[in-house]
Amino acid sequence: MFQLNRPDFFDSEELPVKLIRRNPQIPYPLHSHDFSELVIILSGTGIHFTEEGEYRVQAGDVFIIHSGTTHGYKDLEDLNLVNLLFTPDHLPLPFLDIAHCPGYQALFRLEPRYRKSHNFASRLRLGPDELTRVSSLLQRIDQELSEGEKGFAYMASVLFMELIGILSRSYDSSENLESRELLRIARGISFLEHNISGKITLKELEEETGMSASSLNRHFKRVTGVPPLEYHIRLKIRKACTLLKTSDLNITEVAGRCGFEDSNYFTRQFGKVMCMTPRQYRKSE
């Protein structure tokens, strides 16, 4: 197995995304990379395999390969695809409210984690009309990156954002049984991220997702590593970190902005997550 690295594909650190067409895709052994891939299958069939399993892909399939994931392709029959390479840290995009869209959470965060247990059945599969629309957008991204006119990085970023929005909405409307299961979990994550400063109860999450407390705890631990209410606290702490570095608010004011009524409780929770006090974090580089 070998690894592909960002400098091998990106000519500049300023490039937000790299589009590679595989027409056709050739058999490719197990490999990993230090960037993420958004894969869109345009035509043909083949086997996409990882260390965990093998999955047949065909026209319309869309899936994410995150950094560090090992994968490859074999048994291909005229498989044509587009790889959109990107690194989140190098992608200065204003995602705004897309993170509150369950389809975004399901496609970009949940499906890769559930791929083995769902046997790839929870992937996004675009219909013919959707695939035509996406193909047109891919052509525009390709054109911007290839021609390199002034502002091309900006335009490619805008178009990539549009693509993310289209795919997220498409997943959100999926009728696939496994996809609907992921969307219920995604609704819980989106609900918490949309209400960072609020006080959320487990009962509210049960009503929002239609899942039991035990199911919520199990799935949240699988995806985030912690139970849902603990995940909510970590979201609050993440917001607090931003405020501590970018504002002159005092500790009590920061705590209030993040939904902590008691600044002492805020300091304790901050210490558990960040292993330092809010004041120490503010002074750190």
Matching residue, tokens 């994550």: 189
DSSP state of 108: I
Can you tell me the distance from the alpha carbon of 8 to that of 66, in angstroms, rounded to the nearest whole number? 17
The confidence score (pLDDT) of residue 61 equals 97
Can you tell me the distance from the alpha carbon of 259 to that of 159, in angstroms, rounded to the nearest whole number? 35
Q: pLDDT tens-digit profile of 43-56?
A: 999 999 999 899 99
Can you tell me the distance from the alpha carbon of 48 to that of 64, in angstroms, rounded to the nearest whole number? 12
Burial of 22 (0-12, 13-18, 19+ CB in 10 A): middle
> Tokens for 184?
């219920």
The confidence score (pLDDT) of residue 93 equals 64
Interior/surface letters 207-238, b for 16+ CB within 10 angstroms, e for the rest = ebbebeeebbbebbeebbeebbebbbbbbbbe
CA dihedral 38, 18, 76, 71 (to 10 degrees): -60
> Tokens for 111?
């499906």
The confidence score (pLDDT) of residue 1 equals 73
Q: What is the DSSP string of 23-46?
A: TTPPPEEEEEESSEEEEEEEEEEE
Q: Which domains does the chain have, with CATH numbers?
A: 2-172 (2.60.120.280), 230-283 (1.10.10.60)
Please state, as a whole number, how many other Cβ atoms lie within 10 Å of the Cβ of residue 7.
10
DSSP state of 120: T
Interior/surface letters 42-80, b for 16+ CB within 10 angstroms, e for the rest = bebebbbbbeeeebebebbbbbbbeeebbbbbeebeebb
- Furthest CA-CA distance within the chain: 62
> Tokens for 196?
């960072």
Identify the three-state secondary structure at position 113.
Answer: helix
The confidence score (pLDDT) of residue 47 equals 97
The confidence score (pLDDT) of residue 94 equals 63
The confidence score (pLDDT) of residue 92 equals 62
The confidence score (pLDDT) of residue 184 equals 92
Q: What region does 23 belong to: left with phi over 0, alpha with psi -120 to 50, or beta?
A: beta
The confidence score (pLDDT) of residue 96 equals 76
The confidence score (pLDDT) of residue 53 equals 92
Please state, as a whole number, how many other Cβ atoms lie within 10 Å of the Cβ of residue 31.
13
* pLDDT values of the chain reduced to their tens digit, one per residue, 285 residues: 789 999 889 888 778 899 999 999 999 999 999 999 999 999 999 999 999 899 999 999 999 999 999 999 999 999 999 999 998 777 766 677 888 899 999 999 899 999 998 999 999 999 999 999 999 999 999 999 999 999 999 999 999 999 999 999 999 998 888 888 899 999 999 999 889 999 999 999 999 999 999 999 999 998 899 999 999 999 999 999 999 999 999 999 999 999 999 999 999 999 999 999 999 999 887
* CB distance 98 to 166 below 8 Å: no
